[in-house]
């Protein structure tokens, strides 16, 4: 959809951290458009409305998944509440040819790829192993191992370069998502080294949501995360992660740099995880309510709505229609989750190896004998 063009002067990006961090911003929390010397967007009215639409749908589907978990229909859920702009902004900045390597929280990016939101729910319901064909959707599998996907993404991006697919407007770029906590992982730092020295066509997209479960950002770093990139030899930029316009512009520019052969960029999307880490977590044990309230005032959806209202780009009927569509999609998602069949227990062995193995066959046989021992039992 969106055809807004991001633009920037390479090298002159980002500003040092202060207590109130500075970042690229194009839409204030009050919904006012502001200019930035290096980044801009030029959306049509329809495209602005479409971004609002996406943010609302993504939040509503996420809320439905949280509710499904609370009702025992999912084993666990990792909510993206508060991170909608970071995900929709970057997800819409991708071109169809680009390849995504997500964590376990990129439901908004997945939606922007045009993927059915039911897809990851089998994983969280425990009825499948979360597999899909990454090449079909240009979207890798959800990765629970913190930071691992940055290495997979870097290897993939190096492959893109080796295939000679870098250079030109229609070349392929790669984006790897990860969190603030992941920046402390060896994998992520190794990925930065390899991507840098091989000039890989990759964007490292860090959603700094201020916490790694209960660990706050100050336990991960003494410098702003985006500044880490300088030590690895590529540019870093911090963007207001609750501003969908700025995220779009910054990501589009970094992707285009990558596809044109200018190597990696680290984007730090400065945002906040408004909900719990997952449904297994109780954030009241490690953070205070006033912090959450301060971030609610910077809500990514409210500011786009204020912008649309102030500029008379949308009326009450439009907002109602988006809410109604979101509700319908959520109801539909719920119905389909409840219909997901339980798998035959032995399917757990199916995809361990492409060709199987005698040892695995023995384990399967043993497991099937064990299962059969319950036949006729009332328990």
Candidates 14-22, 203-211, 250-258, 365-373 — which segment interacts with ligand TPP by CB under 6 A? 203-211
Catalytic residue among 60, 107, 228, 277: 277
Candidates 145-153, 173-181, 193-201, 240-248 — which segment interacts with Mg ion by CB under 5 A? 173-181
Cβ proximity to ligand TPP, 225 vs 308, nearer residue:
225
Asked if 306 contacts 245 with a C-beta cutoff of 8 angstroms, the reply is: no
**Cβ 82 to ligand TPP shortest distance, Å:** 11
Find which of ligand TPP, Mg ion, none residue 259 binds, CB within 5 to 8 Å per kind. Answer: none
Cα–Cα distance measured from residue 348 to residue 360, given in angstroms and rounded to the nearest whole number: 11
Count other Cβ atoms within 10 Å, centred on residue 260: 15
Asked if 279 contacts 70 with a C-beta cutoff of 8 angstroms, the reply is: yes
Q: Which two tokens stand for residue 128?
A: 């499948």
**Cβ 177 to ligand TPP shortest distance, Å:** 9
Cβ proximity to Mg ion, 6 vs 181, nearer residue:
181
Q: Which two tokens stand for residue 38?
A: 């290096």
Asked if 180 contacts 215 with a C-beta cutoff of 8 angstroms, the reply is: no
Report CA dihedral (337, 339, 340, 342) to the nearest 10 degrees: 130
Among residues 333, 377, 318, which one has the least CA distance to residue 52? Answer: 318
Q: Is 212 in the site for ligand TPP (CB under 6 A)?
A: yes
Report CA dihedral (30, 58, 86, 153) to the nearest 10 degrees: -170
Q: Is 180 in the site for Mg ion (CB under 5 A)?
A: yes
- The β-bridge relationship of strands 265-270 and 202-208 is parallel
Q: Is 151 in the site for ligand TPP (CB under 6 A)?
A: no
**Cβ 120 to ligand TPP shortest distance, Å:** 15
**Cβ 225 to ligand TPP shortest distance, Å:** 10
Cα–Cα distance measured from residue 50 to residue 44, given in angstroms and rounded to the nearest whole number: 10
Cα–Cα distance measured from residue 208 to residue 197, given in angstroms and rounded to the nearest whole number: 25
Catalytic residue among 33, 70, 286, 370: 286
Contacts (CB under 5 A) with Mg ion, residues 203-262: 209, 212
Q: Is 181 in the site for ligand TPP (CB under 6 A)?
A: yes
Number of H helices, E strands in the chain: 13, 7
Query: Left (φ > 0), alpha (ψ -120 to 50) or beta: where does 164 sit?
Result: left
Q: Is 150 in the site for Mg ion (CB under 5 A)?
A: no
Q: Is 179 in the site for Mg ion (CB under 5 A)?
A: yes
**Cβ 215 to Mg ion shortest distance, Å:** 9
Among residues 93, 192, 103, which one has the least CA distance to residue 139? Answer: 103
Contacts (CB under 6 A) with ligand TPP, residues 96-125: 105
Cα–Cα distance measured from residue 319 to residue 49, given in angstroms and rounded to the nearest whole number: 10
Asked if 93 contacts 86 with a C-beta cutoff of 8 angstroms, the reply is: no
Place of tokens 């908004």: 108
SS3 content of the chain, % helix, strand, coil (to 5): 45, 10, 45
Coil, helix or strand at residue 139: strand
Catalytic residue status for 273:
yes
Cβ proximity to ligand TPP, 144 vs 331, nearer residue:
144
Cβ proximity to Mg ion, 89 vs 241, nearer residue:
241
Contacts (CB under 6 A) with ligand TPP, residues 248-287: 273, 277
Cβ proximity to Mg ion, 285 vs 369, nearer residue:
285
Among the listed residues 82, 102, 122, 179, the single contact to ligand TPP using CB under 6 A: 179
Catalytic residue status for 270:
no
Find which of ligand TPP, Mg ion, none residue 277 binds, CB within 5 to 8 Å per kind. Answer: ligand TPP
Place of tokens 């997945």: 110
Contacts (CB under 6 A) with ligand TPP, residues 294-313: none
Q: Is 146 in the site for ligand TPP (CB under 6 A)?
A: yes
- Which residue, judged by CB position, is nearest to Mg ion in the bound state? 179
Catalytic residue among 252, 273, 303, 334: 273
Residues labelled catalytic: 273, 277, 286
Q: Using CB under 5 A, list all residues that contact Mg ion.
A: 179-181, 209, 212
Which spans of this chain sit near ligand TPP (rule: CB under 6 A)? Answer: 105, 144-146, 178-182, 207, 209, 211-213, 273, 277
């Amino acid at each position: 959809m969106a055809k807004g063009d991001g633009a920037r002067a390479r090298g002159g990006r980002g500003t040092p951290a202060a207590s109130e961090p500075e970042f690229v911003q194009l839409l204030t929390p009050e919904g006012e458009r502001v200019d930035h010397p290096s980044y801009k967007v030029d959306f049509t009215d329809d495209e602005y409305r479409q971004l609002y639409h996406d943010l609302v749908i993504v939040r509503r589907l996420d809320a439905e998944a949280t509710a499904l978990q609370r009702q025992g229909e999912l084993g666990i859920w990792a909510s993206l509440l508060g991170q909608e702009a970071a995900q929709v902004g970057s997800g819409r900045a991708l071109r169809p040819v680009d390849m995504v390597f997500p964590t376990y929280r990129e439901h908004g990016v997945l939606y922007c790829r045009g993927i059915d939101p039911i897809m990851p729910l089998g994983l969280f319901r425990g009825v499948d192993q979360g597999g899909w064909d990454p090449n079909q959707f240009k979207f890798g599998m959800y990765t629970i191992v913190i930071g691992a996907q940055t290495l997979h993404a870097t290897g993939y991006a190096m492959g893109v370069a080796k295939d000679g697919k870098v250079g030109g407007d229609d070349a392929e770029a790669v984006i790897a998502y990860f969190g603030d906590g992941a920046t402390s992982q060896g994998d992520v730092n190794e990925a930065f080294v390899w991507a840098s020295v091989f000039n890989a066509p990759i964007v490292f997209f860090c959603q700094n949501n201020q916490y790694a479960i209960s660990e706050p950002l100050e336990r991960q770093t003494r410098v702003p995360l985006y500044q880490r990139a300088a030590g690895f030899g590529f540019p870093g930029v911090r963007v207001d992660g609750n501003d969908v316009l700025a995220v779009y512009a910054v990501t589009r520019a970094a992707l285009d740099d990558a596809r044109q052969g200018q190597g990696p960029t680290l984007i730090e999307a400065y945002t906040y995880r408004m909900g719990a880490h997952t449904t297994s977590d109780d954030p009241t044990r490690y953070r205070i309510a006033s912090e959450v309230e301060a971030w609610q005032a910077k809500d990514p959806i409210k500011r786009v709505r204020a912008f649309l209202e102030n500029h008379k780009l949308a009326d009450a009927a439009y907002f109602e229609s988006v809410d109604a569509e979101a509700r319908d999609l959520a109801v539909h998602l719920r119905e389909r989750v409840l219909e997901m069949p339980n798998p035959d227990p032995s399917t757990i062995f199916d995809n361990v190896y492409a060709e199987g193995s005698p040892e695995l066959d023995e384990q399967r046989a043993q497991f099937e004998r064990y299962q059969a021992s319950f036949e006729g039992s009332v328990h």
